[in-house]
Structure 1
Amino acid sequence: MSAAQTLPPDAAPAFRGRMQHGAPLAPFTWFRTGGPAERLARPADAGDLVALLAARPANEPLTVIGAASNLIVRDGGVPGLVVRLGGAFGGVSVEEDGVVAGAAALDAAVSEHAAAAGLAGLEFLCGIPGSVGGAVAMNAGAYGVETADVLDWAEVATARGVERLPAAALRLAYRRAELPEGAVVVRARLKARRAADRAAVAARMAAIRAAREETQPVRARTGGSTFKNPPGRKAWELIDAAGCRGLRLGAAQVSEKHCNFLLNTGGGAAAELEALGEEVRARVLAHSGVSLEWEIKRIGVEAVR
Structure 2
Amino acid sequence: MSLSIETLPPVRGTLTPNRPMDTLSWLRVGGPAEMLFQPADLQDLQDFLTALDPAVPVFPIGVCSNLIIRDGGLDGVVVRFGRGFNGIEVLDNSRIRAGVGALDAHVARKAAQAGIDLAFLRTIPGAIGGAAKMNAGCYGTYMADVFIEAEAITRSGQRITLKPADMGFAYRSTALPDGMILTSVTLQGNAGEAEAIEQKMTEALAKREATQPTKERSCGSTFRNPAGYSSTGQADDTHELKAWKVIDDAGMRGASIGGAQMSEMHSNFLINKGGASAADLENLGELVRKRVSENSGITLVWEIMRVGKPAAQ
CA deviations 1:174-199 (Å, max 9, x no partner) are 1111224421100010002321x333
For residue 286 of structure 1, what is the aligned residue in structure 2?
294
The whole-number CA distance in structure 2 between the counterparts of 1:83 and 1:53 is 10
Partner of 1:127: 123
The answer to whether the Cα contact below 8 Å between 2:212 and 2:266 also exists between their aligned partners in 1 is yes
Q: Deviations over 1:58-80 (max 9, x none)?
A: 22222111111111110001111
Matches within 5 A, 1:238-277: 238-277=246-285
Counterpart position of 1:103: 100
> When the two structures are superposed, what TM-score results if normalisation uses the length of structure 2?
0.91
State the partner residue of 2:37.
Answer: 41
Give the number of equivalent residue pairs: 299
1-structure distance, mates of 2:123, 2:269 = 15
Match of 2:236 in 1: none
- 1:40–1:83 contact (8 Å) kept in structure 2: yes
Query: Which residue number in structure 2 is paired with residue 60 of structure 1?
Result: 56
Aligned to 1:148: 144
**CA deviation digits over 1:108-166, x for unaligned, max 9?**
0000001111112x100001001110011111111110000000000001224221111
Q: Distance in 2 between matches of 1:28 and 1:299?
A: 14
Paired amino acid for 1:288: S
| Cα deviation 1:42-101 (Å, max 9, x = unaligned) | 111111111222222222222111111111110001111111111110000112221100
Match for residue 159 of structure 2? 162
Taking the aligned partners of 1:295 and 1:47, their CA distance within structure 2 comes to: 32
Identity %: 46
Cα distance between partner residues in 2 of 1:264 and 1:180: 31
CA distance in 1, matches of 2:226, 2:248: 15
Output the CA distance in 1 between the equivalents of 2:279 and 2:53: 30
Q: Which runs of 5+ in 2 are unaligned?
A: 228-238
1:243-280 deviation line (CA, Å, top 9, x unaligned): 10000111111100111111111111110100000000
Task: Report if aligned partners of 1:103, 1:187 keep a CA contact under 8 Å in 2.
Answer: yes
Q: In structure 2, what is the equivalent of residue 90 of structure 1? A: 86
Instruction: Normalising by structure 1, report the TM-score.
Output: 0.94
* 1:191-202 superposed matches below 5 A: 191-195=188-192, 197-202=193-198
Specify every segment of 5 or more residues in structure 1 that has no aligned partner in the other structure, as ranges: none
C-alpha separation in 2, matches of 1:181 and 1:303: 24
